[in-house]
Chain A
Amino acid sequence: MEATISFRDVRLGFEEGDVVHDLSFEVYPRETLVLLGETGTGKTLSLKMAAGLMRPQQGEVNVLGRRVSTMSETELLAFRREIGFVFQEGALFDSLTVEENVAYRLREEHVAEEEIDPKVREALRFVELEHAIDLVPSELSGGMRRRVSIARALITRPPIVLYDSPTAGLDPVTSQTIIALILRLRDTYGVTALLATHRLQDGFALANFYFDAASNRVMPNSKKAKGKGETDSNTRFAVLRDGKVFFEGSTEQMAAVKDSYLKRFLV
């Protein structure tokens, strides 16, 4: 099976030195790869390279069968419409209302106004923020901003969504809400996702739970009716250290690690 996202021997650095080097990993269709790592290990940079917002100095980045690392900016602008990006702090346009933020992409693509409103409301309903449609970002809490950001990312139903520390700086209850939304997005629309975080519990929640459309609730995987050969989850972990993948494996492998560095994430 061809990978949806693949990094091969990628290197990127600044004046202070390389941030990532020899970075290689793959994300397969409908899979969620959780990029774990401490601050400064290149998680955000990896996401930005996957979206073509940054260009690697060496190596290859392929997304949806196209080599992002060598595309021109004009090609990238068109290509990025197939990717949803949820930024760490939401990155909502603070001069626009929630409706204008969520509808931004549709208006850029000159979608008819009468089609925009139902789509925006549907996306906001998905993140349970339809009542906030006329508010501006400064009137929203941190968690609400992330939820609007998720609504904005899913408005065009992209096949890939990149999450940059979606729960960073949020309280545990709000973090749970965000993770539940990510689960719902994954299990409802079947998106391929790359999620950067330093919180292992986010990754475990994605790996151990699923969204049950029938009951409209998040349920543990143990209650999921599985088909033949189907595993509990399609979530894998990649731990970044010193600019490269230090560990890559399934939930079970991650939970059973003996390495002292990896164990720090389990505490």
Chain B
Amino acid sequence: MADTPLQGLGKEPPPSGVEREASISEILLGSAKEAVLRVQEYSYLAAQSVANLFSRPHYVQDTLDQMDSIGVGSLPIVLLTGFFIGAVMVLQTASQFVRFGQTSLTGDAVALALVRELGPTLTSLLVTGRCASGIASELGSMLVTEQVDAMRAMGTDPSRKLVTPRVVATVLVVPLLTTMSDFIGLVGGCVAAVFSLRLGVVQFWTRAIDALEFSDIMQGMLKSIVFAFILSTVGCYKGLTVRGGTQGVGRSTTQAVVISSVLIIVADTFLTKLALYLANKVF
């Protein structure tokens, strides 16, 4: 605890009974400082998780374990959701295209929407719900039961052992999950187009593939990598800053999902703008 200015001058602070209440401006200033401090702590953790890649030791087995847990574990929900999102996209877009007699365009629309936007965003949000919460609760539980301290006491850097493997694993598997989600979404769209709009399978796939450009795929991949980094680092940060025992673990878990989801959607806006700019300039 820092000394008060009065103590620094060798004077006694006022007795606790006569302390004045903090004004609104002081409360706001305190909250702003707190928020800046948290952003600083989060930025440090995120930067450290990347910096750890450039020096030893590396925890390859932990990274593979996390890839299995995050990637393979999330695969069923990602595929199931992707299939139905693709199908519903076809039904929704077809209801508009049918007015102009252009139902054949549904393949184009679904492919672009899935690969550019829905694939990475929805996959990341699903992984956030499943894994950011899991990471936060796992690390939070380790913190409150002193396992993180035990790790430090045995000479292990928790940032290397706990954070970096989770971040690397998430960044590697979310783009893969997104790719699979995109494909299965197109399969779902195809099924809906064939049975609902009476479109041919070849016609749907030809239009869908022709509509896609390299920049669309890059846009989707860029987004999924950034979203994966956000959800894993926020999960780790909320887990390693748990306060208040098991109740705090629950609170941090919820916050990890909420903050990650909001940041992903906010980042999506800026990344879309950036990707469109790069598509025009570079590709």
Q: Measuring CB to CB, which residues of chain A are less than 8 angstroms from any residue of chain B?
A: 13-18, 48, 51, 53, 57, 73, 77-78, 80-81, 83, 85, 87-89, 91-94, 104-105, 108, 152
Contacts and interface: CB of A to CB of B under 8 A. Distances in A.
Contact of A77 (B1, B142, B150, B157): B157
Secondary structure call for the A interface = mixed
B153 A80 contact: yes
Nearest to A54: B149
21 contacts: A13-B1, A14-B1, A15-B1, A16-B1, A18-B1, A51-B153, A53-B152, A80-B154, A81-B154, A85-B154, A87-B149, A87-B153, A89-B145, A91-B145, A91-B149, A93-B147, A94-B145, A94-B147, A104-B154, A105-B154, A152-B154
A194 B202 CA distance: 76
A87 B153 CA distance: 10
A19 to B, nearest CB: 9
Contacts of A17: 1
Interface in B153-183: 153-157
Contacts of B142: 93
Contact of A91 (B147, B155, B156, B157): B147
A100 to B, nearest CB: 12
Contact of B150 (A15, A81, A93): A93
Contacts of B145: 89, 91, 94
Given A77-B152, A94-B147, A108-B154, 9 more contacts: A17-B1, A18-B1, A73-B157, A77-B156, A78-B155, A80-B153, A91-B149, A93-B147, A108-B156
A84 B135 CA distance: 28
A212 to B, nearest CB: 31
B150 A91 contact: yes
Contacts of B146: 87-89, 91
A24 to B, nearest CB: 20
A87 B145 CA distance: 10
Interface of B: 1, 57, 142, 145-147, 149-157
B155 A77 contact: yes
Contacts of B150: 85, 87, 91-93
A180 to B, nearest CB: 23
A13 B3 CA distance: 10
B62 to A, nearest CB: 11
Given A13-B1, A14-B1, A108 B155 contact: yes
Contacts of A77: 152, 155-157
A92 B149 CA distance: 11
Contacts of A104: 154
B147 A81 contact: no
B152 A80 contact: yes
A55 to B, nearest CB: 12
Nearest to A11: B1
A152 B145 CA distance: 16
Contacts of B1: 13-18, 57
Contacts of B149: 48, 53, 87, 91
B18 to A, nearest CB: 17
Contacts of B152: 53, 77, 80
A17 B7 CA distance: 13
B155 A80 contact: yes
Contacts of B157: 73, 77
Contacts of B156: 77, 108
A14 B153 CA distance: 22
User: Considering the complex of A and B, which 5 residue pairs feature the smallest CB-CB distances, nearest first?
Assistant: A13-B1, A91-B150, A91-B146, A85-B153, A81-B155
A93 B147 CA distance: 6
A53 B155 contact: no
B132 to A, nearest CB: 19
A108 B161 CA distance: 10
Contacts of A87: 146, 149-150, 153
Contacts of A105: 154-155
A80 B145 CA distance: 20
A53 B147 contact: no
Nearest to A77: B155
Nearest to A105: B154
B100 to A, nearest CB: 57
A88 B146 CA distance: 9
A83 B151 CA distance: 12
Which of B142, B147, B151 has the most A CB atoms < 10 Å from its CB?
Answer: B147
Nearest to B157: A77
B120 to A, nearest CB: 31
Contacts of B153: 51, 53, 80, 83, 85, 87
Nearest to A19: B1
